[in-house]
Chain A
């Protein structure tokens, strides 16, 4: 349904050009939940923003193609992309407070969005709005609809934002760290809600997060990004339980989950390379334990390994 091919994005800054995304390839199929994981600066949000053409002015899409049902989104005019934004592809952001209008009752906001996307009367819109609130498990929708965003808790707000995003309803929902600002117990409820929307309404979800635990809970397929490149992708279970790229392995090792408290954590030494001066070879080479000569000279490309599992690494692996 959504396919990104060879996407390159650069940012022009005073200090030089930042190669934020390099050669991104990924697909999202119908009814699929795909997760993009990576640390800050890995380019996961930039990928999401470039799908809806929401990048800042200093960003240049150098090369590549983003096609949605056969249509290249990058060549569309401003007007044309607006018929897709929100209607076909919707987005949920991290901080629910900034995504809502602060001086407008949430019910009104939701009705407005519904009327924008569907041809309905005001009365019908109100009914649809109440139903939409019920869909996101708000128990007393009539009451909540009359409240302002500041009167609601973080979890409630994020439910409203999801209801807004689902108003059209879209084919694809892009969720950029939707639960990062929430408490774990609330996070769990929101994740369950998103899973349910995916199962009931068949909405595909592109889920962007830095949390491997969240990925394992909701995503069918996982894409791991590092320094603006996709370094591994595959079925979630395979990527998390049989990771092939040394970075993915190291990332899972570095989590404190279930580790012996008497052993030090296996931290990844060093830091992410400066994207203004990308190394010639693999971006992870300077931090990698298995680094070889070839890694410093030539960049590995994402290549097929087995069953949908792709890896960008020079190391030899069986199978």
Chain B
């Protein structure tokens, strides 16, 4: 493990929101690392903290506790976001409709991230040749450059967003539900493109999605989030074949799929909800396997190679 470069290291990272007297724990004591060349998948339902995770990394939100290291250097100094190498981290958002400025041409949109770079770099990366090469690489045409976003379909817009993320030649890209607004046939095109680009440029991805099939196809590692806590984490194959946490089991079995012909029984939540206490397991409320032991919450522990689970059972 030591000979591989860590891109991201997170140590006990917290993001709490204060709403009156209530504290909302959007992300709770998260510790994980992303190695160079990894595609880490983040799954969980809405409100589980997936997007908060991404926002902390790109500086849209600041953590209320813990430390995030990017290539060994802290990303946050107090509540100030430090950009050592601008353009190193990029994001592709879910909705290409709202993430592209409708009043800018495609050329302006794609070149905009370069304004964060030094003049020299901007000149070099923003050259016409470089731009054309990039545009063609993501499957768009040269003549599109002077058009506006509304003239494009969802799939094409997402290609534009990908080109915008690539223009600064980043080493790490956060993909926040990049295909959930797209149709199946277009989703496949975009997933293929993302995979090819990763190979060509040796990128590292953080892939946020609620779609387990997409995660399984794209990611080398997966972390399952539930209410701001990582409940299970491991290599994709291992996690899908041998899920350990009850929530992961439910998540995997509730996916309507064409493949599983033999109707395996869906594993359900507990029939009656039990209110949880301060110290109990985060999943106590709905867990079908809960016992008294779970009133004192489990910690993430290693179970098998690189497979972490937060469960007593």
Contact = CB atoms under 8 A, between A and B. Distances in A.
Contacts of B278: none
A154 B255 CA distance: 18
Contact of A256 (B186, B191, B256, B266): B191
A250 interface: yes
B269 A185 contact: yes
A184 B210 contact: yes
A271 interface: yes
A242 interface: no
B286 to A, nearest CB: 9
A211 B180 CA distance: 12
B288 interface: no
Contacts of B250: 185
A266 B257 contact: no
A266 B254 contact: no
Contacts of B185: 39, 250-251, 254, 267-268
A256 B214 contact: yes
A100 interface: no
A140 B158 CA distance: 44
Interface string A199-220: 0000000000011111011000
Contacts of B259: 257-258
B52 interface: no
A94 interface: no
Given A183-B45, A265-B192, A39 B183 contact: yes
> Which of A241, A257, A269 has the most C-beta atoms of chain B within 10 angstroms of its own C-beta?
A257
Interface string A23-47: 0000000000000000110000000
B307 to A, nearest CB: 18
Given A254-B185, A267-B188, A213 B255 contact: yes
B184 A255 contact: yes
B-side interface size class: 35 or more
B192 A264 contact: yes
Given A256-B216, A259-B217, A213 B258 contact: yes
Contacts of A268: 185, 188-189
Given A256-B191, A256-B216, A264-B192, A217 B256 contact: yes
B45 A185 contact: yes
Contacts of B213: 255-258
A35 B188 CA distance: 23
Interface in B183-209: 183-189, 191-192, 195-196
A86 to B, nearest CB: 29
Given A256-B217, A265-B191, A271 B186 contact: yes
B153 interface: yes
Contacts of B217: 256, 259, 261, 265
B218 interface: yes
Interface string B248-263: 0011001111110100
B155 interface: yes
B273 to A, nearest CB: 9
A271 B153 contact: yes
Contacts of A286: none
A9 to B, nearest CB: 21
Contacts of B275: none
B188 A184 contact: no
A26 B106 CA distance: 43
Given A188-B266, A261-B216, A213 B256 contact: yes
Closest 3 CB pairs of A and B: A213-B256, A267-B188, A256-B217
10 contacts: A39-B184, A139-B272, A184-B255, A185-B251, A186-B45, A212-B258, A254-B184, A257-B258, A258-B259, A265-B192
